[in-house]
Structure 1
Amino acid sequence: MTVAFQQTIPILRIFDVAKAKEFYVDYLGMVVDWEHHFEEGGPLYLQVSRAGLILHLSEHHGDSSPGASVFVWMTGVEALHAEITAKNYAYNRPGIEKTFYDSLCLKLVDPFRNQLLLNEEIKQDFET
């Protein structure tokens, strides 16, 4: 049988559900797909998504360490930048940087020091 990986879903550590939803839902425009508590009053584990990007956010101490980085290839970096900049989110004013690997990178840092590195390949026009 051939090995085939189907999808990667990063798990990011959060400490405050309201702050997480403010960042991921209100600011980034993601939707909450589902939420789960393994027991009443226990830590929350939830999934958020937007346009093919799926993230799991967890209050569980063993699921992940704060300060993780997630590298994402995407299209529409400049459109997303314009969208989030217009929201005047008080805690993040990211810019777009050109990288050494020929992409535009929008680096977002959530309230728990996790980084989303959203990259779009710069298309090179070559004349023949």
Structure 2
Amino acid sequence: MAEQLTPFLRVEDANASTAWYARLGFVKQWEHRFEPGLPLFVCVARGPMQLFLSEHHGDARPGTLLYLHVNDLQAVAAEFGAAVEEAPWGPELELTDPDGNRLRIGAAQP
């Protein structure tokens, strides 16, 4: 496997968050729970990008900001009904997931 960085996002309901991130093209790779009733931990991926969605309170702070570069920014804008803004470095939009984590999404550069 190639080297990579995988951010953790703190979520209250990993299944609901998995469904939300699916709208961005992320697909569940696997999940882990030590035993019934304990917090759920899910890995989602979109191509080479991965996120860990964790219900564990100590894994990450709510309100994290991530930046994603995508090939079709307009498709993301349409899916979420979000406005694309023109920043000095190019077009982007910002989304907030159900747990308050923020995603700034820009057009992938050729």
Normalised by the size of structure 1, how large is the TM-score? Answer: 0.73
Structure 1: runs of 5+ lacking an equivalent: 86-92, 124-128
**Partner AA of 2:32 in structure 1:** H
Work out whether residues 104 and 121 of structure 1, in 8 Å CA contact, stay in contact via their aligned partners in 2: no
Task: Give the direction of change, closer, same or farther, for the CA distance of 1:49–1:6 in structure 2 (3 Å limit).
Answer: same
Work out whether residues 103 and 121 of structure 1, in 8 Å CA contact, stay in contact via their aligned partners in 2: no
Which deviations, in whole Å up to 9, do the C-alpha atoms of 1:56-75 show, x marking residues without a partner? 10000000011000112332
SS in 2 for 1:61: coil
1:66 to 62, 65, 81: 62
Please identify runs of 4+ aligned residues in structure 1 that moved more than 4 A: none
Partner of 2:98: 111
Normalised by the size of structure 2, how large is the TM-score? Answer: 0.84
Residue correspondence of structure 1 range 1-128 to structure 2 within 5 A: 6-25=3-22, 27-82=23-78, 84-85=79-80, 93-100=81-88, 102-120=89-107
For these two proteins, the number of residue pairs brought into alignment is: 109
Work out whether residues 9 and 54 of structure 1, in 8 Å CA contact, stay in contact via their aligned partners in 2: yes
- For 1:35 and 1:121, the matched residues in 2 are separated by 29
Which deviations, in whole Å up to 9, do the C-alpha atoms of 1:76-121 show, x marking residues without a partner? 2123323x14xxxxxxx32111112x21112111000001111126
- RMSD over aligned CA atoms reads 2.1
- For 1:74 and 1:40, the matched residues in 2 are separated by 36
Structure 2: runs of 5+ lacking an equivalent: none
- For 1:11 and 1:81, the matched residues in 2 are separated by 24
The structural deviation recorded for 1:122 is 6.8
Quick one: percent identity of the two aligned structures?
35
